[in-house]
Structure 1
Amino acid sequence: MTHRTPRRSPRPTAAGALALVAVAALTACSPGGSGSTDASDEARLRFAYAFTPTTALSPYSDDATTAYAAGATETLVRLDPAGLPEPSLATRWEQVDPTTWRFELRDDVVFHDGTPMTVETVVAALDAAAAAEPAPRALAGGTIDARADGDGAVLVATAEPDPVLVQRLTSPELVVLAPDAYADPARPTPVGTGTGPYEITDTDLSTSMTLEANPDYWAGTPALDGVDVTFVGDAGARLQSFRSGQVDLAQALPAAQLDQIDDDQLLAVPLPRTVSLHLTQTSPVLADPGQRELVRAAVAELDLAGTIYAGRAEPAGGLFNAAVSAWAQDRDEPAYPDAAAVAEAGPLRLATFTDRPELPEMATAIADALRATGFEVEVVARPYDEMEADYLDGAYDLVVMSRSYGQDTADPVGYLQADFSCGGTYNLSRSCDPDLDAELAAAQTLADPDERAAAAVAVEQQVLADVWAVPLVHDATQFGFEGVTDLAADPFERAVVTHTTSVQR
């Protein structure tokens, strides 16, 4: 973990050098999700996770982070606390030509099902990700082609030079799984097929997930006997579980209720995460820039950070949080379109998800502001796993979304491509501008991190000027924890449990 490759990609620009402790919470459940674990017999970490799997834990979706956070899956490369790539399943790497990188593999890795990790298994895993439809967001705007280079290395090639290929390969979407994981190529399963310190041995994919220590883990014997995860979408329930001692860690606690927790049990860390209002371009009303400007102006009057977040979040200055991304400071105010008269149409459908407790409250405040402007508004709020497909299909006129702009690729240009390009795989705004796509394509070729950041800010200004999205607040992670040590230091909210993580009660 301390060694560097002789040639590594530039420092990721999405979060600078900020080290964030990305903690998640654990619930009291035994393997299979029933009963409680006897802490005197076993050292098990109880983890109340805020999101329910939506695609059977397939890494080609947001489920990728679930298995990765619990310590079940790993990538060729991971990010260190400063946001720099460091070895994981690959021990070193180098760029051999403008479109090809060479990764040397560890020779002592065994998958949870007993299969050894070889060059062939790594190539197959990467090729499966490259062939997935839709493509993993980490590969937005391009693809990869993997091939063996002898018995101990893999060559990964791109059609065009990709300065951030190594950062892409840190994404949980590109984990390496055993061959049996790909029986369904569209939805690989990490259950019993990962390489991490903990093996997923049981899950019903809706309430719980059980992991046992992997005694053959390449980095050493895990400190815990296992991890018991429950998926708890209700933030109030997570808070109550922590206060009652049922969980060791509690993720995404409601900001307005944090006064119920002692300061030494609370961790609040600013993130490269922004809550934004996405305006759907395929909406009959919001296809008109003048109508979008009416929405933006109404929302701009709200103090959401000070009220709903009780001062525990910062008002958003843009899509990127300047507090953790220094390159995003000193941006110009966008030139917004002229507002139009309120269109006579049916109600705007405003949607958000209930897994983050502040979002429904924000949706209610936004709806009230829009009604005062003259719009009719209908609010829809349900758990995320029930709504993701509708978000991506443009079923709603407006969507309040909390989004990490560094999670997919650790690169702001990659985030912009995924969220705002014509072919973006997470384009909630349903936006499409060929000229903007051309700018993003040009930005992808930039190797200098300062030039890449400047290009991202320029694209951001166009997105905001066209009112495809309205940034609302820059979020912080709010966790309760008790007796837990050695959690992962991860600036992109991916890793949580490591082989040295321990718990004392």
Structure 2
Amino acid sequence: MTEHDRRQALLRLSALLAAGAALVLPQARAHDGPLSEHAAVAPASRDTLTVVGPWELTGLEPSRGGYMFTRMEVTQTLLDADDQGRLLPAVASAWEVSNDGLEWRFFVAQGRLFHDGSPVTAGTVLASLKRAAAAPGVLRLARIRSMAVSRGAILVTLAQPYAPLPFLFTHSGTQILAPSSYGTDGRVLRIVGSGPYQITSISLPQQFEVAFFERWRGEPPAVRRARYISVSRAETRTLMVQSGQADLAFSLDPPSIRRLQGRREVRLVAAPLPRTTFLKLNAGHPLLNDVRVRRAVSLALDRPGIARALLRDDDLGAGQLFPPAMALWHQPALAPLRGDPAAARALLRQAGFVPGADGIVRRDGRRFEVNLTTFVDRPELPLIATAVQEELRQVGIAVKVVVGNSSDIPAGHRSGALQIGLVARNFGSLPDPVATLADDYGVEGGDWGAMGWHSAPLTDALVRLSNGGVPAGSAQAATLRADIARELQQGLPVIPVVWYRQTMAVSRRVAGASIDPFERSYRISALTWKAA
């Protein structure tokens, strides 16, 4: 097959996929429960804002479903961040660090109330933070020796300096809950937060409703009531916003976006996010442990073609791991990853693989056949997986696409069973990605990062950025970030495919909608109603 034929085949495949053909979704998510595409949903009422997205409420624990409660502005964290990733006060009004970097003080804002009317105090904040520190989550990234109340502040003492510590306290897993949230056994029984909205009803795993907390000290919002509904199918979310059953619809797939373009009743808002879709390779697997093989996989990919056919935007083809949205980390001088199937085949031959009669390469009698695992939480992932499957087949690698749930990726990492995973990694889960990268690419790798691969220079660079000895805005820090990007580009423990642009559909009855690049909030308190 010529290069022209190969590209035409990809475009035909992508067109079929975009139309919804040749794709089987997992049985676990085959319907939307009471909100399936065949079910009737009440139109959004005049005074209630309806938000729909694919994310189910998997529980009340902050480490599991907490992100939904921060997005709907029910709960708060110790600190917040602006669109540029700069820290902002939240439950803490100010913070400071000792000269040796081992003691941090976070001063709790005075006069705030939880939704049950109880005061937000340093003691109640400390209880939530200690609970978060004891559970699996971001606070384990820092070596916290102790947390205590000191002069109305939370005193955090570290075993060693850790500059990204304040950013850990922006994560939804560290949200602050009132004592009345917990049962006698310590489990979270209800969500009693301190944000502008309080929960009025909740039905796991499908939806919850909120109303403005009248004793909120901030500016009263125009939107006084709102609800979030989990709807797994992108086309159903599209129909809901188009028909007036929803006001904000998130995580739309490309066919849905095309369907809504030019519609008078809906407005589309888009923004680049610090998120990259990539292939996570098990570098310890016998077929994938040779860097030449991983480079061959990378060379097999026509990233602009995939981005054009499936995302309708050539610029989203990922030439490196860090997208332009990560201004401090994106490296314009780094030679971009490219597609070259002939070079991919040559590398496979160098690694000892020879073509079989069926076109699939073999080495020592073993056919190069691997599983690619992905999930439906991001509606574009199964489409991209099938396009990648075709691209790799063209260079002699047989791929079986397995579409499951997002939990399959970390489970496969921990068990060692994962071969290739297609994931969308959010580098903005913390406003400063150093902690995320250290978790993903440390000595042991991470659930969403390296598997069976380690780079001593990369680890050293991350340690130096983490220990506070290198100012974040310095030339030295920029050099370390460039070193990290280069190590990842050379070793390819993960292979970038496309970058990400979040598109939100907004009903014409609301104004002021914007996208949080760190996906911390739906910003419903900033919305206003348009006149009928």
TM-score tier after normalising by the smaller chain length:
0.7 to 0.9
Shift in Å at residue 283 of structure 1? 3.1
Map 1:169-318; keep pairs closer than 5 Å: 169-183=169-183, 188=188, 191-262=190-261, 265-300=267-302, 303-311=305-313, 314-318=316-320
CA distance in 1, matches of 2:421, 2:528: 39
Give, as a single letter, the amino acid of the residue that structure 2 aligns with 1:137.
V
Q: Which runs of structure 2 are paired with 1:40-51 in the superposition (5 Å)?
A: 40=46, 43-51=47-55
- Secondary structure at 1:157's aligned position in 2? strand
Cα shift at 1:362: 0.7
Matched, 1:107 2:110: yes
After superposition, where does 1:313-352 map in structure 2 within 5 Å? 314-325=316-327, 327-333=329-335, 339=348, 340=351, 341=353, 342=361, 343=363, 344-345=366-367, 347-352=369-374
Q: Distance in 2 between matches of 1:496 and 1:371?
A: 41
Question: 1:184, 1:389 → 2: CA distance?
Answer: 31
**Residue 329 of structure 1: how far off its partner (Å):** 3.0
Percent identity reads: 28
Task: Give the structure with higher Rg (CA).
Answer: 2
TM-score by length of 1: 0.83
- How far apart in 2 are the matches of 1:110 and 1:323? 36
1 CA distance for matches of 2:395 and 2:83?
45
Q: State the alpha-carbon separation in 1 of the partners of residues 60 and 414 from structure 2.
A: 19
Alpha-carbon distance in 1 for matches of 2:277, 2:494 = 10
8 Å CA contact 1:488, 1:498 repeated in 2: no
Give 1:276 deviation, angstroms. 0.9
Shift of 1:476: 0.5
Moved more, 294-303 or 161-170: 294-303
Give the letter for the 1:452 counterpart: A
Amino acid at match of 1:501: L
CA–CA separation in structure 2 for the residues paired with 1:334 and 1:318: 6
Larger relative contact order (C-alpha < 8 A, sep ≥ 6)?
Answer: 1
Q: Which runs of 5+ in 2 are unaligned?
A: 1-33, 338-342, 354-360
**Structure 2 counterpart of 1:449:** 473
Tell me: CA distance 1:113–1:230, structure 2 relative to 1, closer, same or farther (3 Å).
same
Q: 1:488: Cα distance to partner? A: 6.2
Letter in 1 for 2:54: A
Report the Cα distance in structure 2 between the residues aligned to 1:274 and 1:144, rounded to whole angstroms: 34
| Range moving further from structure 2, 71-80 or 369-378 | 369-378
Tell me the distance in 2 between the aligned counterparts of 1:396 and 1:289. 18
> Which secondary structure state, in structure 2, belongs to the residue aligned with residue 471 of structure 1?
strand
Could you tell me which amino acid in structure 1 is paired with residue 49 of structure 2?
A: L
Q: Using a 3 Å threshold, how does the CA distance of structure 1 residues 148 and 389 change in structure 2: closer, same or farther? A: same
Q: Contact conserved, 2:102 with 2:158, CA < 8 A, in 1? A: yes
User: Equivalent of 2:488, from 450, 453, 463?
Assistant: 463
- 1:163-174 alignment to 2 at 5 Å? 163-174=163-174
Shift in Å, 1:158: 2.2
CA shift in 2, pair 1:387/1:316, >3 Å: closer
1: CA distance between counterparts of 2:415 and 2:214?
44
User: What is the correspondence of 1:466-481 to structure 2 with a 5 Å cutoff?
Assistant: 466-481=491-506
From 116, 124, 127, the counterpart of 1:124: 127
Structure-2 separation of matches of 1:156 and 1:108: 22
2:436 is aligned with 1:426: no
CA distance in 2, matches of 1:146, 1:205: 33
Name the structure 1 match of 2:19.
Answer: none
Q: 1:258-296: per-residue Cα shift (whole Å, max 9, x none)? A: 232245701111121111111123434223333323322
Distance 1:182 1:300 in 2: 51
In 1, Cα distance between the equivalents of 2:242 and 2:122? Answer: 47
**Does the 8 Å CA contact 2:146/2:158 hold for their aligned counterparts?**
yes
Range with greater deviation from structure 2 (78-87 or 451-460)? 451-460
Work out whether residues 353 and 381 of structure 1, in 8 Å CA contact, stay in contact via their aligned partners in 2: yes
Query: Which SS does the other structure have where 1:176 is aligned?
Result: coil
**Is the Cα contact below 8 Å between 1:137 and 1:426 reproduced in 2?**
no
